[in-house]
Amino acid sequence: MFIEYKTRKGKVIINDEEALMKFYQSYKDDIFIGFNSRNYDIHIFKGLLLGMDAGYINDKLIIQGKKGWEVVREGYKIPLNNFDIMPNPPISLKTLEGFMGSMIKESSVPFDLDRWLTNEEIKETIKYCLHDVKQTILVFEAKREEFESQLGLIEMFNLDMSLFNKTKAQLSAHILGAEKHENRGDEFDFIFPEVIRLDKYKYIKEWYENPENRRYVDDKGKKNKLITEIAGVEHVLGFGGIHAAIPNYYTEGIILCCDVASLYPSIMINFDFLSRNVKEPLKFKDIRDKRLSLKKIKDKKEKPLKVVINGTFGASKDQFNALFDPLMANNVCITGQLLLVDLIEKVEPYCELIQSNTDGIYMKVENRENVNKIKEVAKEWEVRTGLELEWDEYIKIYQKDVNNYLLIPEKLYDEKGKPRWKTKGVYVKKLNDLDYDLPIVNKAMVNYFVFNTPIEETINSCDELREFQKIVKLSSAYKYALKNCTFSKKKVLNEKTGKMVLKKVWNEDGEILKDKTFRVFASTKEEDKGIYKRKEGENPEKFANTPDKCFINNDDIKGKKIPNYLDKQYYIDLAQERINQFLGTDKKTKKKKEKVSK
């Protein structure tokens, strides 16, 4: 099943290798766009052109988990330009279709039939595949910038179109001329730049210098990390970015934020920590400088270069990438953490530290005099390190933890009417068509924090069904999903103790659902119960974060209004619960109850 993007004309080929070859010859110089096509579709496509059996290829890829090149070994003989729009980390197409409000029903034709399909089954399969290809177009349009960045790199560096099939990390390695190198055996021979100046927190650098800490995993099999208090806040350091935040924190006043511009790329350049597999290190600097100059004049050509700049560090940690150089990756990461501690040490006397993250810090500052003092000592740090700080100010912060917060500026919108508040975390982040889960709850929380709008007002005034959706997917670990099942407490034998104990047991009822992805809504109907998933021989488990009473609508719901049995109170309660998590009031309530019980 193919659809030409410009004309939207479709092409269906059924058991006709000659027609497939003719189609390929007509479009082999074009770009084929697919979902998970890098791991599946292109190998089926090439295999068929090479005379292989599609079922054989499918079973090797899906059931045995083989790589495409392991199965279709002569696939290199079939040139094919492919762009895979599957997100990283992976999200299924059906889940994205659910977010977009599209129909997410599975085909009624099983994929594992051991016979030829009937004519009716073929029609149903074509309809199902056509739907998914059309949805793939919508996903592509939502992610078009990624496609254009990839194409932009090919054109900008005058590369062969065959390289279009590479991942961003692979393409970055090629552009930089990286060549794989055998293991140098120096992964933990850390280098500490002389510009790092620590006094109060010198022991943190000494932790990395200690040979006993030069490992990723400790004696207990857990990530090796240093947990310590810096500026009155508990910090976690190790072999990732530095992280710290005052939990359940709220304040008003001068909230000063500074981020290090392009931290990791700048460290690679300033301290010669670029992967040693790169033949011409100056090329990386030239690309970085060109990107910054284009960014200043708001030229879109900077976006492809951003792919190379930002992808190089991650690739240096990937053992399968030509940029792989674990020592340099460690040097970059550790230096970034120590330099941020260095900065905190210098500004600590003039502020209350609110949060530290990989490339920046947030502070509460009492007055303008201290703001000036902070920027003065920070300037010395910039000159000494060769790094550049970018500053922002806000007047309020609501912070659950380092990964969940909302910063509110004095002026809420810019000149174009774009919101200026900053959010991070699943509860308050800005949503889009490919990430649209419980949107009404996000909106209620943001409206509450930014505009002091009661959560009931946001939720009760909305009548768009899609705004209330929760998308869940059945993983391969489970046999099937089911709805409206019930449980009873029964006495069963505990084989360890030999005693009879009360246990929650499934009544072996409920409706088995054919689909694998579900759009769930809270219900007021008495007969509606929860949605569950079941492993073979075990009790069903409730899908996480779904209502105890729900209804499912897997049809296209774009533009649909809510039914009168939608339970809005469920969403109000959920929003309130999440707000309490931000403010810490749920924990305070629990502690009070514990004290009373004692």
User: Which pLDDT tens digit goes with each residue over 476-518?
Assistant: 899 999 999 998 988 888 888 888 888 888 988 999 999 999 9
Query: What confidence category does residue 587 fall into, taking pLDDT thresholds of 50, 70 and 90?
Result: low
Mean pLDDT to the nearest integer, 224-233: 96
Residue 591 pLDDT > 80? no
Residue 594 pLDDT > 70? no
Per-residue model confidence (pLDDT) at position 414:
92
Per-residue model confidence (pLDDT) at position 307:
87
Per-residue model confidence (pLDDT) at position 111:
82
What gap in Å lies between CA 112 and CA 220, rounded to an integer? 44
Are the C-beta atoms of 106 and 516 separated by less than 8 Å? Answer: yes
Give the CA dihedral 76, 82, 85, 91, nearest 10 degrees. -20
Residue 418 pLDDT > 60? yes
What gap in Å lies between CA 216 and CA 82, rounded to an integer? 37
345-353 CB contacts, 8 Å cutoff, 24+ apart: 345/198, 345/199, 345/200, 345/201, 346/377, 346/378, 346/380, 346/381, 347/374, 347/377, 347/378, 348/231, 350/374, 350/377, 351/256, 352/232, 353/230, 353/231, 353/232, 353/233, 353/244, 353/246
Mean pLDDT of the chain: 93
What gap in Å lies between CA 327 and CA 182, rounded to an integer? 13
Per-residue model confidence (pLDDT) at position 496:
82
Closest CA to 46 of 1, 2, 79: 79
Per-residue model confidence (pLDDT) at position 88:
84
What gap in Å lies between CA 204 and CA 197, rounded to an integer? 12
CB atoms within 10 A of CB 541: 11
What gap in Å lies between CA 438 and CA 215, rounded to an integer? 41
Q: If you compute the radius of gyration of the chain from its CA atoms, what whole number of angstroms results?
A: 28
Phi, psi of 204 (to 5 degrees): -70, -45
Tell me if residue 351 falls in helix, strand or coil: coil
Query: What confidence category does residue 300 fall into, taking pLDDT thresholds of 50, 70 and 90?
Result: confident
* Residue 387 DSSP code: -
Mean pLDDT to the nearest integer, 179-197: 95
Least confident of 152-166, 189-203, 271-285, 349-363: 152-166
What gap in Å lies between CA 550 and CA 469, rounded to an integer? 11
Residue 590 pLDDT > 80? no
Phi, psi of 485 (to 5 degrees): -80, 160
Burial call 322-347: b when 16+ CB within 10 Å, e when fewer: bbbbbbbbbbbbbbbbbbbbbbbbbb
Are the C-beta atoms of 465 and 560 separated by less than 8 Å? Answer: yes
Per-residue model confidence (pLDDT) at position 586:
65
Beta bridge partners, 255, equal: 364, 394
Percent above pLDDT 70 for the chain = 98
Q: Rounded to two decimals, what is the model's pTM?
A: 0.89
CB atoms within 10 A of CB 10: 14
Mean pLDDT to the nearest integer, 162-183: 90
Tell me if residue 140 falls in helix, strand or coil: helix
What gap in Å lies between CA 82 and CA 263, rounded to an integer? 32
Residue 338 pLDDT > 70? yes
Give the CA dihedral 57, 58, 60, 66, nearest 10 degrees. 100
Mean pLDDT to the nearest integer, 378-390: 97
Sign of CA pseudo-dihedral 64, 65, 66, 72: positive
